[in-house]
Amino acid sequence: MKNENEILNESKVSPFGEDSERASVAFPGEVHPTAGGGILLSKLDEVINWARSNSLWPLVFGTSCCAIEMMSTAAAKYDWSRFGFEVARATPRQADVIIIAGTIVNKMAPVLKRLYDQMPDPKYVIAMGACATSGGPFFYNTYSVVKGADHIIPVDVYIAGCPPRPEALLHALITLQQKIKSGATREQIRNGIGN
C-alpha cells in the first residue's frame, strides 16, 4: 500500500498553493481538489487518534498530596475539562487514562494493578509527582513505598514536582494528547499501521 505522501508527491498537488514556500511539504493526507475548495480526507486512524486524545476520561486515583493538586487542576481556575478530561469516572471500566497522583505503597500496589487491568484498551498512564515517578522523597530508607509506579504498570508520561503545579499537570496532559496523536495505540501497532 503506497504511502499517502508518495501519492501526493506524484500528483504534485499542494494545498498551500504553487508559489508558497510550503509547497514542497508533504501533506499528511489525501487531497481531492474540488471546485469550491479542498475536502480533506485523513487516514482513519488519525481521526480516531484525534478523537481519542481530545476526550480522555481520567480515573480518579489520588493517593497522596498530589491528589490535592489534581483536584485543583480539575477545579475552576485551571480547568482540565477544557482539554476534554471532562468526566472523571470513579470506575476504571469507563476511564481512559489513570493519573497516578500520589505515593504507591506496598499495600496499594496490587490494587493499582487490578485497576489498571480493569481499564479497557486503549489506556494511558500518567505518573504525577515525584513519588509515582521514582519513590520521590521516600526513595531512601523506607520499608513500605514502591520506588516508582512503573514497577507496577507501564507509564506513558512522567511529571516532575512535589507536588507539580496544576500548570505542570496540564502540560503533561497536553503532552499525552500529542503522544496519542502522533503515535499508534497497541492495536494499531499490532495491525501493522502507524509510525
Least Å distance, CB 143 to other proteins, is 5
151 contacts other proteins (rule: CB under 8 A): no
Among 43, 52, 147, 179, contact with other proteins (rule: CB under 8 A): 147
Confirm if 46 and 193 have CB atoms less than 8 A apart.
Answer: no
Bridge partners, 119 (sequence order): none
Residues 57-76 that bind other proteins (CB under 8 A): none
Angle at 151 between CA 145 and CA 154, to 5 degrees: 135
Cell digits of residue 191: 495491525
Q: Could you tell me which stretch among 3-11, 59-67, 140-148, 154-162 binds other proteins (CB under 8 A)?
A: 140-148
Among 54, 81, 87, 139, contact with other proteins (rule: CB under 8 A): 139
Among 63, 142, 175, 188, contact with other proteins (rule: CB under 8 A): 142
Three-class SS state of 16: coil
Cell digits of residue 14: 499542494
Least Å distance, CB 112 to other proteins, is 16
Residue 180's region, left for phi above 0, alpha for psi from -120 to 50, else beta, is alpha
Q: Could you tell me which stretch among 37-45, 141-149, 152-160, 177-185 binds other proteins (CB under 8 A)?
A: 141-149
Residues 93-132 that bind other proteins (CB under 8 A): 106-107
Cell digits of residue 127: 505518573
| Residue 171 Cα to chain centre, angstroms | 11
- Residues engaged in binding other proteins (CB under 8 A): 106-107, 139-145, 147
